[in-house]
């Protein structure tokens, strides 16, 4: 049985320097996920406190949630926060103006991200910004300049970088423990989100599954192997499969993402990565989710607790506590991912191989 790394005592201790005030803007599904992840971090010894929240719909300010989503399927009502001790309101700028807020999670629709993040940075707050940052890479470039001028970080919420089993894969690729990678296949499929239905149904706002779902695997492909020389894609905004070409890297790198399955189809998040001396498979719907085949045997890999949401939020808290000038995921990377997604769209629209560089 192979054991993956877990959060170290020293890492938790480093976040105990002082209490960090947190604000959350947008209390839809992802905002609720962020609130829960901050609460879990506090329970595990990270010194943080939810100070203020905002949402345009006053009904979402009660402190209770029955969120449903790909990874939150029970629909049971949960107590997220106590509105008697957390400042609530419909105006995000009230969160940005709160003197005790140092870190803000922005969990609103994509087409509001840049304006809200800009306001938060100019108010002196660090920002954890849900993905995709924008459908326009030039907007992301402009936001990066604002972040640099503010002296605060703006971290895109690329949660797969921190997901147990996926962070393990990144370490295995980088340290070469099983040799080089020869093939990597990523799959992320489900039915169209039922929460925020008007937003997701409008590809001009959401970018479709290409930008809102497939973005995770595109970011992770770049995270593992760097910028591909070219991409070849087939499909549509709602379901895309892309081949990434690396002249000096793996010969076979493929990612599929789609949300055009019938309602009730279970969400799938999976990878199969072939190394010279092993094959690793992650399947979210299996227990244990990660197994590795090597030496004629198939064995589970024991993973740390929590999700990528927990990991990204704890990383952001540590960056604030340690006054790091930049978080582990950057706006420059988010802009590069968006440019790559645009190349994929051009490829399946025009039916041609699109060079990236």
88 lies in the same domain as 181: no
Cα 154 vs. chain centroid, distance in angstroms? 13
Phi-psi label, residue 174: left if phi above 0, alpha if psi -120 to 50, beta otherwise: alpha
CATH number at residue 143: 3.40.50.720
245 lies in the same domain as 175: yes
Query: Is residue 41 domain-resident?
Result: yes
Query: Would strands 64-65 and 78-79 be described as parallel, antiparallel, or unpaired?
Result: antiparallel
Which of helix, strand or coil describes residue 190?
A: strand
Query: Is residue 267 domain-resident?
Result: yes
Report residue 143: phi and psi, to 5°. Answer: -65, -35
Instruction: Return the half-sphere exposure (C-beta side, CA atoms, 13 A cut-off) of residue 6.
Output: 10
Over the stretch 45-70, which tens digit does the pLDDT of each residue have?
A: 999 999 999 999 999 999 987 665 55
> Mean pLDDT over all residues of the chain?
92
Q: CA dihedral defined by 208, 244, 277, 216, rounded to 10 degrees?
A: -20
Mean pLDDT throughout 268-279? 98
Residue 203, Cβ density class (10 Å: 0-12 exposed, 13-18 middle, ≥19 buried): middle
CA distance 187 to 52: 37
Number of domains in the chain: 2
Evaluate if residue 226 carries a pLDDT over 80.
yes
144 lies in the same domain as 252: no
116 lies in the same domain as 196: no
In percent, how much of the chain has pLDDT > 70? 90
Report residue 41: phi and psi, to 5°. Answer: -60, -40
CATH number at residue 195: 3.30.360.10
Over the stretch 321-356, which tens digit does the pLDDT of each residue have?
A: 999 989 999 999 999 999 999 999 999 998 766 677
178 lies in the same domain as 154: no
185 lies in the same domain as 233: yes
Query: Is residue 325 domain-resident?
Result: no
Last residue of a domain, one of 140, 158, 176: 158
Neighbours of 84 (CB within 10 A): 7
Query: Is residue 84 domain-resident?
Result: yes
Last residue of a domain, one of 142, 158, 174: 158
More confident residue, 13 or 25: 25
165 lies in the same domain as 126: no
At residue 191 the predicted structure's pLDDT band, cuts being 50, 70 and 90, is: very high
The tokens for 141 are 């470039």
- The contacts of residue 8 (CB under 8 Å, 6+ apart) are none
Last residue of a domain, one of 120, 142, 158: 158
Mean pLDDT throughout 276-300? 97
Query: Is residue 283 domain-resident?
Result: yes
Give the residue carrying structure tokens 């604002």.
Answer: 146
Over the stretch 70-111, which tens digit does the pLDDT of each residue have?
A: 555 455 667 899 999 999 999 999 999 999 999 999 999 999
User: For the chain, what is the radius of gyration of the CA atoms?
Assistant: 20
Query: Is residue 99 domain-resident?
Result: yes
Mean pLDDT throughout 102-130? 98
Extract the runs of DSSP E, i.e. beta strands, from 122-197: 126-129, 154-156, 181-191
151 lies in the same domain as 204: no
Mean pLDDT throughout 136-146? 98
Query: Is there a contact between 18 and 322 (Cβ–Cβ < 8 Å)?
Result: no
Which of helix, strand or coil describes residue 26?
A: coil
CA distance 95 to 75: 28
204 lies in the same domain as 77: no
Q: CA dihedral defined by 300, 41, 92, 137, rounded to 10 degrees?
A: -40
183 lies in the same domain as 128: no
Q: CA dihedral defined by 153, 154, 158, 161, rounded to 10 degrees?
A: -10
- The contacts of residue 39 (CB under 8 Å, 6+ apart) are 50, 80, 81
Look at residues 79, 119, 88, 118 and name the one whose alpha carbon lies nearest to residue 23: 88
Query: Is residue 113 domain-resident?
Result: yes
Question: pTM for the whole thing?
Answer: 0.92
| Residue-range definition of the domain harbouring residue 177 | 161-309+337-355
The tokens for 137 are 């890479």
Query: Is residue 332 domain-resident?
Result: no
146 lies in the same domain as 172: no
- Residue 71: is the preceding peptide bond cis (ω within 30°)? no
At residue 22 the predicted structure's pLDDT band, cuts being 50, 70 and 90, is: very high
> What angle in degrees, to the nearest 10, is found between the helix axes of 215-225 and 331-350?
110
Over the stretch 232-268, which tens digit does the pLDDT of each residue have?
A: 999 999 999 999 999 999 999 999 999 999 999 999 9
183 lies in the same domain as 153: no
Q: Spell 34-59 as b/e; 16+ CB within 10 A means b.
A: bbbbbbbbbeeebebebbbbbbeeee
- The contacts of residue 286 (CB under 8 Å, 6+ apart) are none
């Amino acid at each position: 049985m192979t054991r993956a790394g877990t959060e170290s005592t020293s890492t938790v201790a480093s976040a105990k320097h002082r209490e960090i005030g947190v604000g959350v803007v947008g209390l839809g599904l992802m905002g609720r996920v962020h609130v829960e992840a901050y609460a879990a971090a506090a329970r595990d010894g990270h010194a943080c406190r939810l100070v203020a929240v905002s949402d345009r719909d006053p009904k979402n300010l009660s402190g209770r949630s029955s969120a449903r989503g790909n990874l939150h399927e029970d629909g049971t009502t949960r107590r997220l926060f106590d509105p008697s001790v957390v400042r609530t309101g419909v105006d995000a700028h009230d969160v940005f103006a709160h003197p005790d807020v140092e870190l803000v999670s922005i969990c609103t629709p994509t087409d509001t991200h840049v304006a809200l993040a800009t306001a938060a940075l100019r108010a002196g707050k660090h920002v954890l910004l849900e993905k995709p940052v924008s459908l326009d890479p030039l907007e992301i470039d402009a936001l990066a300049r604002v972040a640099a001028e503010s002296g605060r970080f703006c971290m895109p919420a690329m949660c797969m970088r921190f997901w147990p089993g996926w962070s393990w894969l990144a370490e295995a690729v980088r340290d070469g423990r099983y040799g080089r990678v020869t093939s990597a296949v990523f799959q992320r499929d489900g039915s169209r989100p039922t929460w925020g239905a008007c937003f997701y149904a409008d590809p001009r706002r959401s970018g479709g599954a290409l930008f809102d779902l497939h973005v995770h695997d595109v970011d992770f492909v770049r995270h593992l192997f760097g910028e591909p020389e070219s991409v070849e894609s087939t499909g549509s905004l709602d379901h895309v499969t892309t081949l990434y070409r690396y002249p000096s890297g793996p010969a076979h790198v493929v990612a599929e993402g789609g949300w055009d399955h019938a309602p009730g189809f279970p969400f799938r998040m999976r990878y199969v990565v072939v190394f010279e001396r092993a094959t690793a498979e992650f399947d979210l719907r299996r227990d244990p989710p990660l197994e590795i085949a090597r030496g004629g045997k198939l064995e589970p890999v024991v993973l740390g607790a929590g999700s990528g949401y927990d990991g990204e939020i704890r990383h952001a808290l540590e960056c604030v506590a340690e006054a790091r000038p930049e978080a582990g995921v950057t706006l420059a990377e988010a802009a590069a991912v968006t440019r790559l997604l645009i190349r994929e769209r051009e490829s399946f629209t025009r039916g041609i191989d699109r060079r990236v560089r």
